[in-house]
Amino acid sequence: MVVERRCHKPSSLSLNRDRQRHPVFSYPAGSKFVAQELQGRCYHPLTQTGRGAALRHHTHAPEFASSRSLGRGWAGLLLFLVSMLVGSACRAEQPFPLFGPAAQEPSLTTYKAAPGEQAPQSYAELNAWLAQRTQVPQVSMLGGSFWLVSPFSPTQRDSDWVVAFDNTYYGHAHIVVLGDDGLHQTFDTGSDLGTSDVPRGAAAVTLAPGHHYAVIIHVTSTFFTAMPRIDVQTRTQFRKRRINESALMLGSLGVLFGLGVFILFVGLWIRDRSYTLYGCQALILVLGWGFFFDLPQTWLGISTGPINFTQWFILLPVVHARFTIRFLDLWRHAPQMARVGHGIVAASIIALPFSLFFPSLAFLIATFAVSIIVFYSACMGWWALVRGVRRARFFTLAYMAVVIPGMIILPVNFGLVPSAVDNADLLTLMGNSCEAMLLAFALADHVKLVEDGRERFRRGMQEAIAKASIDALTGLGNRLAFNVMIEEITRRENSDPAQGTWQIAMIDLDGLKLVNDSQGHERGDELLQKVGEGLARLGDLIRAFRLGGDEFAVIAYGDELSQQRLARSLAELDKSLCESDFLGAGVSYGICSAPVDQRRFSNADFAELVREADRSMYAHKSRRRMERVAEQPLPEVGSGD
């Protein structure tokens, strides 16, 4: 490039303060040594007002936000609440009505059913029929065929009643309602038929006050999930309870499905495995509970064959354990427990086909799988919380939401105690939805921690760049800042050449060595500071730099008039130094501008501008030296004899 030489003489220069004709004079810190993440956001290394502390030694958000005593206090409190809740539940004689009016729960007697047996045809035949049956303590959790008999009498003077067979998952149930008033009513329900009422199988019957009735159920199932129960309620009570349970069931499934789809999409979009695993976990829970309530068959008419809800819950630890390991960063904090988690994953994968070959064991396998993974995740959450890991707060709270109902339903699932609430399965589903929401909060909290860490890192980088780019003595940009600004200019295009072009002024401080030698280095530093203050006042749209020693530079943007104003300001600075008490002080300078019509600049272009400004500055220095020599009086010549 051939540089257009418009190197003005000092006497004809003026200061540029015309901001309205100047483009916005700001540049992103996009130099090669700045991380790409900081572009457009970092402190600009060339600003002359930046101050700050040095770069902090860490770049991640602090994980330790709570003390060990706080974690232990929460642990003790929650364990106390769990023990109180489980203890009261185990002592309950009747299920606690959580979801609607309390139902009449008649006593239930269990008999072993043989192939080909038929239910009695009338209430009068019931006693003789029962005498031929073999009574057993309860149904086997591994499944089988059983007779369930429950006599009862209406407790309210109402004729419209509902008999519901619930509290367990079962394959097929043939239900007969007999009465001493001649009532004989039958209906079939169960997951094998695809006609199970949601959320339970129920039949509307007409009962007369003061009469005696009996419910005889022939139930056949591959496995049972709890001890069966018969509820008798008026239709009004049952309708209210059914509406509550259906709304809570659909709401809980909707929460799980919505969070699962959204978080899975986010995880795939940002390629974060924690989000992806969590989304898969929520969707697996939706499928598991949907199969438990027979939604594919009842609503969609889809026959699932040998697949039922147990396979989905056995599959759950495969993603659940990996999510816990990744979210709590166990490979870094507790590698042995991370290996335990991967062992749970391997065991679940092995157990999945095993549940298909041995269907009667499928539910127990699923119960063990879910119990182990919840226990594992809860323990890891407590471990992290006690050690003050901040991200474990919502994580641990999420598992408390599922551990508490799990402590209630787990003994029920093994057939050890009757259910303590009217619908323990729905309570567990609600716990899962609360767990999902709290885990979503945990992810959001983790994102906030990461963003806080990035913000601290960004600020630290800004402060470090600012400190590295500013001359400590004068407050001006240093040579690094000068080079970075040139690099930034070369990346941009001069979009409006009519408004002006780039200008460079090279400045040399005269008399610094003389001041240092005659008045001391402290006075020399004061002289440098005075020059820095003068250059800093040239204008907000002009950047001044101390390149080292007594060398300074200015980068500005404007037209020829602006260049003249800049030169006039430098001349005024020179005059103020000459009139000061700094012996022999002054500034020599040269200004050069690029061609007006040039839109893009390369490093070579700016190097040529700097050379031209340097030549102009040395020419100015030479003229000043000659003027000082001319002003000195000639020595007197003595007369000779």
Domains, the chain, in order of start with CATH, read: 10-27+492-624 (3.30.70.270), 68-73+242-453 (1.20.1070), 109-240 (2.60.40)
pLDDT band at 163 (very low <50, low <70, confident <90, very high): very high
Query: What residue type is assigned to position 480 of the chain?
Result: L
**Phi (first) and psi of residue 112, to 5 degrees:** -75, 135
**Phi (first) and psi of residue 213, to 5 degrees:** -135, 165
| pLDDT above 70: percentage of residues in the chain | 79
> In angstroms, how far is CA 34 from the centroid of its own chain?
26
The predicted pLDDT at position 629 comes to 67
| Residue entry with tokens 């239709």 | 235
Rounded Cα distance, 555 and 559, in Å: 13
Q: What is the mean pLDDT of residues 87-94?
A: 52
Lowest mean pLDDT among 245-249, 428-432, 532-536: 428-432
Instruction: Say whether pLDDT at 17 is over 50.
Output: no
387 vs 297 pLDDT, higher one: 387
Lowest mean pLDDT among 6-20, 280-294, 304-318: 6-20
The predicted pLDDT at position 194 comes to 54
Rounded Cα distance, 321 and 456, in Å: 31
Strand 543-548's sheet: what is its strand order? 543-548, 551-558, 501-510, 586-593
Rounded Cα distance, 258 and 243, in Å: 22
Q: What is the mean pLDDT of residues 459-484?
A: 86
Q: Report whether 223 contacts 355 (CB < 8 A).
A: no
Instruction: Say whether pLDDT at 370 is over 70.
Output: yes
H or E element: which one contains 392?
Answer: helix 392-413
C-alpha dihedral (277, 279, 284, 287), degrees to nearest 10: -170
Nearest to 443 by CA among 251, 262, 254: 262
Q: Is 136 helix (H, G, I), strand (E, B) or coil?
A: strand
| Residue entry with tokens 């983790």 | 446
Q: What is the mean pLDDT of residues 544-553?
A: 92
Instruction: Determine how many CB atoms are found less than 10 A away from the CB of residue 568.
Output: 18
The predicted pLDDT at position 80 comes to 46
338 vs 56 pLDDT, higher one: 338
Q: What is the mean pLDDT of residues 470-488?
A: 89
Instruction: Say whether pLDDT at 49 is over 80.
Output: no
pLDDT per residue as tens digits for the range 114-140:
998 999 999 999 999 999 999 999 999
The sign of the CA dihedral 593, 598, 600, 602 is negative
The predicted pLDDT at position 441 comes to 79
Nearest to 213 by CA among 221, 222, 203: 203
pLDDT per residue as tens digits for the range 290-312:
988 888 877 777 777 788 899 99
Rounded Cα distance, 233 and 164, in Å: 8
H or E element: which one contains 501?
Answer: strand 501-510
H or E element: which one contains 407?
Answer: helix 392-413
The predicted pLDDT at position 137 comes to 92
Lowest mean pLDDT among 137-151, 233-247, 538-552, 626-640: 626-640
Instruction: Say whether pLDDT at 97 is over 70.
Output: yes
Lowest mean pLDDT among 56-60, 248-252, 490-494: 56-60
Instruction: Say whether pLDDT at 517 is over 70.
Output: yes
H or E element: which one contains 578?
Answer: helix 560-578
Q: What is the mean pLDDT of residues 198-219?
A: 85
Rounded Cα distance, 267 and 500, in Å: 49
Rounded Cα distance, 474 and 551, in Å: 12
pLDDT band at 495 (very low <50, low <70, confident <90, very high): low
Peptide bond into 199 cis (omega under 30): yes
Rounded Cα distance, 617 and 563, in Å: 15
DSSP classification of residue 538: T
pTM: 0.62
Instruction: Say whether pLDDT at 398 is over 50.
Output: yes
